[in-house]
Structure 1
């Protein structure tokens, strides 16, 4: 099954809808969806290393737009949808501490957590809930998310053939490592939140 998904993503790199799907996943991941866009960004960039920059740009733009949606959830819908999402991730009792930290360290929190595997949707919702300056939030999000996705683009563009050979040789191992990193991101978010 993993091989079929990977092969589909690589083959889809030539399809006109692939960019739209990747953008939709990137948007959704920043506001409510648990799967990061890297599951499409990496295979598509491996298939077309010369387009890795475009893919990173699309992920950045759609992730920041999704971040604004997450911010709106936190700012406008926290009492219903936002609180439910925070509770879903088991962080309801830590939101007040996070809000206090925003008063002092908001930009560093957004940039730091936006570059890591910590679920970015938690940062976007908390930013809205904390009433963090929207313009500064967008700027920090561009830096963090752009940094993250363009690092992937640099690696795929420069070392794509070698990375592709390693992934294809040990696909199960790399998927397992990715899942572990994602799970650790949630654990770190719960501990650090």
Structure 2
């Protein structure tokens, strides 16, 4: 998966206008929080039906137990991770499984705050040099990304088969 549009825009604007990078980060955080709040509300109203169509009952119980065990960390950790992490599923699940609104909001602000402020800082510090590096090494970077994606796919398939055999 490619980076989300908000990541690309944040980094591009931060490189173009480094003095305003923090403003771009704050606006990106705000936009993400608003989007997450809407999806959380959907989860509260009817997320269970969606999740039941997508996951087995055993898997839903495991996800729910995960929220009970880890609480807001179940939202903070995936909110920090870059794409292709399926963050929207975690947001919807948080609403469905009853993570309280204040805890959810705090978790999203912390996670997205760390992520987007870090991206803005890195874009300002390394942006122009990073763009030049990518331009000069485009073929090598593409090959490395392809290898990493293939390796992740192999690990995912292996882990999924192993989990299924353990469930059986």
Q: TM-score, normalization: structure 1?
A: 0.64
Distance in structure 1 (CA, Å) of the matches to 2:70 and 2:34 = 22
Distance in structure 2 (CA, Å) of the matches to 1:102 and 1:44 = 36
Distance in structure 2 (CA, Å) of the matches to 1:108 and 1:79 = 21
Unaligned runs of 5+ in 2: 164-168
Aligned residues: 149
Aligned pair 1:74/2:65, yes or no?
Answer: no
Residue 159 of structure 1: aligned partner: 126
Residue 123 of structure 1: aligned partner: 90
Shift of 1:110: 1.1
Residue 7 of structure 2: aligned partner: 38
Shift of 1:43: 2.4
Contact 1:49 1:160 in 2 (8 A): no
Q: Deviations over 1:98-121 (max 9, x none)?
A: 111111211111111111132211
Contact 1:46 1:164 in 2 (8 A): no
Aligned pair 1:168/2:102, yes or no?
Answer: no
Contact 2:15 2:127 in 1 (8 A): yes
Distance in structure 1 (CA, Å) of the matches to 2:37 and 2:127 = 32
SS of residue matched to 1:77: helix
Greater radius of gyration (CA): 2
Distance in structure 2 (CA, Å) of the matches to 1:79 and 1:100 = 15
Change (3 A) 1:111 1:79: closer
Shift of 1:63: 0.6
Residue 101 of structure 1: aligned partner: 66
Residue 19 of structure 2: aligned partner: 50
Contact 1:74 1:127 in 2 (8 A): yes
Q: TM-score, normalization: structure 2?
A: 0.73
Distance in structure 2 (CA, Å) of the matches to 1:83 and 1:35 = 25
SS of residue matched to 1:131: coil
Aligned residue runs from structure 1 range 12-31, under 5 A: none
